[in-house]
Amino acid sequence: MSRVAVLLGRTTSDLTTSVVSLLITSLCGLAIGWRIRGNPLDAVLAYLLILLFAFAMSWVGAFIGLVSRSVEVAQSLGLIWLFPATFISAGFVSVAALPEPLATIAEWNPITALANAARRLFANPAPAAVAQPHSWPAENAILYSALCSLGLIALFLSLAVARYRRVASR
CB atoms within 10 A of CB 16: 10
Which pLDDT belongs to residue 35? Answer: 94
Amino acid at residue number 13: S
Instruction: Map out the domains of the chain as residue ranges.
Output: 3-168
Residue type, 24: I
- Share the mean pLDDT of the chain: 90
Look up residue 102 and give its amino acid. Answer: L
What is the pLDDT, as a whole number, of residue 55?
Answer: 97
pLDDT at 91: 80
pLDDT at 49: 98
**Contact predicate 7/164, CB 8 Å:** yes
Dihedrals φ, ψ of 169, to 5°?
A: -85, -5
pLDDT score, position 88 = 87
pLDDT at 111: 94
> Residue 147: how many CB atoms within 10 A of its CB?
14
Enumerate residue ranges in the chain where pLDDT < 70: 129, 170
Three-class SS of residue 70?
coil
Distance CA 37, CA 81 (A): 33
The total number of residues written for the chain in this structure: 170
pLDDT at residue 153, rounded to an integer: 97
